[in-house]
């Protein structure tokens, strides 16, 4: 046992500390006296005046309290809820409690960011984490690198475009990540087209003859109609209303059936007050017994019209004069829907009460005698080309391809070169070979300075300010030469321009003619086994654009005018005949060395969704 001499001193020291903390700011309280009763350890008690209160030392639970009351201290509960044990007020417990609070304050809590040491360690840990992430990212990019590289920063700065440099850089970065994903695609799906000959009943190309390609419905000419040499595809039928010219053939099974009628029209005048006939199958001009497809005059607006003489369907867009227009008339027996398309776009939709009724009768082209009594004379004035009839209702996608896919060479039937598009354009070639390792199947190869493939009959591409798109896959063996060359003559003279090729620094470029060659620049490609998808588009809305692997690489929206040849054009792949034509930024080397696959030309601007589907 400790001596009674040391015990009061210890008790006094503790109480003095409490007094000092509690009353340091109050002069009044500093004058308060304390009564000390010296007792042995374990029995020492504190006596205070009634006005004095003692506040516990820096206790978190009571830091907001103004007085000390032993009844408000935390209580320990026994296993029985009714038994409560009050904390001891022994003065000897205060030093140990103070020590415990100090230890808990210094070491009991986890490391906090407010301490300098923790801040230092946190910064070092964050920096280490950033280094690890950056190292992993660089490793992934190196592993999946694309052969597309930027040949020259100065090349990109010459691109005339409203897109910012930041956006171009982001697009090029996206392009770097595409080749591996592209290789994971399923080529047969991506190269799908909607072209189908299923259900074909008749097709008249009017290439100097009235024969049906199915050899079933050869047309009979009335009053000596003729042909024009520059039709939409090669030659076309010419009908003169003043000479009462038209064609007719035997009955085609359209009664009580689904069907689609498609053709290209080039009206040169409106000589009739109401109708200008396209095709008819008429028994009686009433009770759904008279099919008549015409261009009808609605208050000076001449639009496509479809009727069974009882159920009618009008369109909402005018057919222009002296311009080639694609027209499609569709009837679906299941849904009884009547649909009218102009240049691949739906312009009329109606529901019929019945399919076409009546009895078998002749089908007429350019004149419908069965409606003369009701609507007057209806002879067609102008040109007609590529008239087809199928015994099913074509989908909107099929009709869009029929109207806008000018040519499509997939080279899968090589060495036979045939156009898989709706127009079956002819071609010639020289010193070409073929490879089985094409993008989708087979591909055509150009390994000679005089190698080329030339396609004829591209009327849309020769029409001023008509939208177009050129799409192809290439695997270059060198980074020079012309890839796509367009001219108004077979020998590559007259109106002529290199549309797609390589600049002298290896950058790929796309061009149009607008009084001069107008160019947008892409990056330099790599010479490797990788296939690249190149697409050039032009429209009066978006100007000139260049896509590589489904990424918009360069554009010039200010090029809203395209000055064409006003003739049916020739397109030559992998070469240009000479340097007398405009070649713009394409280098002087004429020939392209490499492979080409899945070549297409559209008479519309492809959207990004269309491009991604290839």
Is residue 463 domain-shared with residue 439, that is, in the same domain? yes
> What letter does residue 106 receive in the DSSP assignment?
I
**Is 70 strand, coil or helix?**
helix
pLDDT tens string 125-136: 887 887 777 777
pLDDT > 60? residue 485: yes
**Structure token pair of residue 157:** 């700065």
Domain presence at residue 91: no
Q: What are phi and psi of 192, to 5 degrees?
A: -70, 140
Instruction: State the residue range of the domain holding 283.
Output: 200-394
Domain end point (choices 394, 413, 444): 394
Exposure pattern of 243-261 as b/e (b: 16+ CB <10 Å)? Answer: eebbbbbeebebbeebbbb
Domain presence at residue 147: no
Is residue 359 domain-shared with residue 333, that is, in the same domain? yes
Is residue 275 domain-shared with residue 346, that is, in the same domain? yes
Share of the chain above pLDDT 90, in %: 62
Cβ 517 vs Cβ 531: under 8 Å: no
Q: Looking at residue 37, what is its pLDDT?
A: 43
pLDDT tens string 58-94: 444 333 333 334 444 444 444 444 444 444 444 444 4
Is residue 354 domain-shared with residue 417, that is, in the same domain? no
Q: What angle do CA 295, 299, 305 make, to 5 degrees?
A: 25
Q: Rounded mean pLDDT of the chain?
A: 79
**Structure token pair of residue 63:** 């830091």
Domain end point (choices 13, 40, 60): 60
Is residue 184 domain-shared with residue 206, that is, in the same domain? no
pTM above 0.75, yes or no: no
Is residue 567 domain-shared with residue 420, that is, in the same domain? yes
pLDDT tens string 5-56: 444 444 444 434 444 444 444 444 444 444 444 444 443 344 434 333 434 4
Domain presence at residue 5: yes
Domain presence at residue 551: yes
Is residue 448 domain-shared with residue 579, that is, in the same domain? yes
Q: How many whole angstroms separate alpha carbon 11 and alpha carbon 7?
A: 6
pLDDT > 80? residue 490: yes
Q: Looking at residue 122, what is its pLDDT?
A: 74
Exposure pattern of 91-122 as b/e (b: 16+ CB <10 Å)? Answer: beebeeebeebeeeeeeeeeeeeeeeeeeeee
Is residue 257 domain-shared with residue 300, that is, in the same domain? yes
Domain end point (choices 394, 415, 443): 394
Domain presence at residue 316: yes
Is residue 437 domain-shared with residue 571, that is, in the same domain? yes
Domain presence at residue 455: yes
pLDDT tens string 156-196: 333 333 334 334 433 443 443 333 333 333 333 444 556 67
Cβ 238 vs Cβ 266: under 8 Å: no
Domain presence at residue 447: yes
Q: How many whole angstroms separate alpha carbon 564 and alpha carbon 462?
A: 5
Is residue 177 domain-shared with residue 204, that is, in the same domain? no
pLDDT tens string 395-442: 999 999 999 999 999 999 889 899 999 999 999 999 999 999 999 899
Instruction: Give the total number of structural domains in the chain.
Output: 3
Give the residue with greater pLDDT, 319 vs 300.
Answer: 319
Residue by residue, DSSP assigns 365-379 as ES--GGGHHHH----
| CA contacts within 13 A on the Cβ side of 216 | 11
CATH assignment at residue 436: 2.60.120.200
Is residue 372 domain-shared with residue 484, that is, in the same domain? no
Is residue 494 domain-shared with residue 551, that is, in the same domain? yes
Domain presence at residue 509: yes
């Amino acid at each position: 046992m400790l001596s009674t001499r040391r015990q009061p001193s210890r008790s006094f020291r503790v109480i003095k500390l409490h007094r000092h903390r509690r009353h340091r700011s109050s002069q009044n309280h500093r004058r308060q006296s304390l009564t000390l009763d010296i007792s042995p350890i374990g029995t020492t008690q504190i006596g205070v005046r009634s006005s004095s209160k003692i506040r516990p030392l820096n206790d978190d639970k009571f830091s907001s309290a103004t007085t000390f009351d032993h009844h408000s201290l935390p209580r320990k509960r026994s296993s029985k809820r009714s038994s409560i044990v009050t904390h001891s007020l022994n003065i000897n417990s205060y030093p140990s409690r103070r020590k415990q609070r100090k230890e808990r304050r210094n070491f009991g809590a986890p490391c906090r960011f407010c301490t300098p040491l923790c801040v230092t360690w946190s910064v070092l840990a964050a920096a280490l984490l950033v280094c690890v992430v950056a190292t992993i990212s660089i490793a992934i990019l190196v592993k999946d690198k694309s052969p597309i590289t930027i040949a020259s920063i100065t090349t990109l700065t010459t691109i005339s475009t409203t897109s910012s440099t930041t956006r171009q850089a982001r697009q090029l970065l996206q392009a770097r990540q595409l080749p591996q994903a592209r290789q994971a695609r399923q080529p047969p799906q991506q190269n799908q087209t909607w072209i189908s000959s299923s259900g074909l009943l008749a097709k008249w190309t009017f290439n100097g003859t009235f024969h049906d390609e199915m050899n079933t419905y050869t047309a009979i000419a009335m009053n000596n109609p003729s042909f024009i040499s520059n039709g939409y595809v090669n030659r076309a039928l010419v009908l003169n209303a003043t000479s009462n010219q038209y064609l007719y053939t035997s009955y085609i099974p359209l009664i009580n059936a689904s069907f689609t009628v498609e053709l290209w029209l080039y009206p040169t005048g409106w000589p009739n007050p109401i109708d200008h006939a396209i095709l008819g199958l008429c028994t009686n001009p009433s009770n759904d017994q008279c099919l008549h497809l015409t261009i009808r005059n609605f208050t000076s607006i001449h639009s496509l019209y479809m009727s069974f003489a009882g159920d009618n369907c009008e369109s909402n867009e005018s057919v222009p004069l002296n311009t080639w227009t694609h027209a499609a008339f569709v009837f679906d027996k299941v849904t009884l829907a009547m649909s009218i398309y102009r240049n691949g776009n739906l312009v009329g939709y109606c529901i019929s009460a019945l399919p076409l009724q009546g009895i078998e009768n002749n089908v007429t082209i350019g004149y419908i005698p069965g409606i003369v009594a009701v609507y007057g004379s209806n002879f067609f004035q102008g040109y007609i080309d590529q008239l087809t009839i199928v015994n099913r209702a074509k989908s909107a996608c099929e009709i869009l391809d029929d109207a806008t896919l000018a040519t499509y060479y997939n080279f899968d039937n090589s060495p036979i070169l045939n156009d898989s598009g709706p127009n079956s354009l002819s071609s010639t070639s020289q010193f070409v070979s073929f490879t089985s390792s094409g993008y989708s199947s087979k591909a055509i190869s150009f390994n000679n300075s005089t190698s080329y493939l030339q396609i004829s009959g591209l009327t849309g591409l020769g029409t001023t300010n008509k939208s177009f798109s050129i799409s192809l896959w290439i695997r270059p063996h060198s980074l020079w030469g012309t890839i796509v060359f367009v001219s108004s003559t077979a020998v590559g003279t007259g109106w002529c321009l290199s549309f797609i090729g390589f600049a002298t620094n290896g950058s790929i470029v796309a061009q149009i003619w607008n009084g001069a060659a107008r160019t947008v620049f892409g990056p330099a490609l790599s010479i490797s086994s990788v296939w690249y998808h190149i697409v050039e588009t032009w429209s009066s809305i978006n100007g000139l654009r260049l896509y590589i692997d489904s990424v918009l690489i360069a554009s010039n929206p200010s090029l809203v005018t395209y000055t064409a040849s006003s003739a049916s054009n020739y397109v030559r792949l992998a070469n240009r005949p000479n340097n007398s034509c405009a070649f713009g930024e394409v280098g002087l080397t004429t020939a392209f060395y490499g492979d080409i696959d899945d070549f297409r030309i559209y008479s519309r601007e492809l959207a990004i969704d269309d491009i991604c589907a290839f």
